[in-house]
Structure 1
Amino acid sequence: MALTSLKKKRRIQIVALTAVALVISTALIGYAMRDGINFFRSPSQVAEEPPAPNEVFRIGGLVEEGSLVRGQGETISFRVTDGGASVPVTYTGVLPDLFEENQGMVGTGRYVNGTFEASEILAKHDETYMPKEVVDALKEQGVYQESAPES
């Protein structure tokens, strides 16, 4: 009888230890990934609820026509819009070749003092592609129009 009680106790200890190890490993994975997760926001969402200056997120929409200004060196400023609101963006670096006004873009960065300071800019890579989040945000504002498929 003492032998089965000892086996039962050992089994419970192993299960408890395994559960604790699982919780600790899940917490460590979540902690390690917290900086790698960037939430998407449309310009309207940024205008309604400005994020904290230290929060890194992605913003997407269309580059507003007439807003693209090339500054000194590699600094570029423009406005990104979803039809409901537009947000000023600054970026220092080389823009993608397909980046231009009235085209879709997604930027990663921070919203500081009313301006989105982008650390990365992505432009659509062909005439039919636009990120799903950007399409959804533009459809929500009633701006997005489906392009006719080419034959």
Structure 2
Amino acid sequence: MTAPEFLGHIDRFQTMIVGIVGFLGVIWTLSANARYARLEHSRQLRMRRAVLRRILAAEFRNYSDALKRNRDAIHSKAEEVSVGKIRRLLSEGLTADLGLLDPDEIDIVVNALISLDGFEHCLESICQNNLGTRFIIPAEALPAFRNVCDSTATALDLAVEAMEMSNDR
């Protein structure tokens, strides 16, 4: 094929060539935009996971510290102890977002949340008086109170450790 014949073919099929090149450009643009959208969505999910982990770790750490302070504040000669109810501030509203976590993290977090709820139910069963926002624990129930504080604080500490380790990844 000579140069004039080649130029004749280009002249004859220029509309089709331009259409094919344009269509390839559109395909490339759509592909690049889809790749960018996937990367951005992955980045947003990573950020939401990290924020969720930090919020849960902070809340669980505060609960655990409060339980340990309550446990350690009890004197052996105390007649009764007044203990405030746990008010879940953030974790209650974040329950729907737990699916962002890894399955093992969900197990640990749900165990910590169940422990918190179980703590309150245990206090209701051993308390002498339930004042709505506080429990009055009699002296004979203080060993049970210490035990439930220890087990709940342990579950919360495990959840904090798991959230912190996951954020380090």
Q: One fold, TM greater than 0.5?
A: no
More helix by proportion, 1 or 2?
2
Higher strand content, 1 or 2: 1
Give the structure-2-normalised TM-score. Answer: 0.32
Larger relative contact order (CA 8 Å, sep ≥ 6): 2
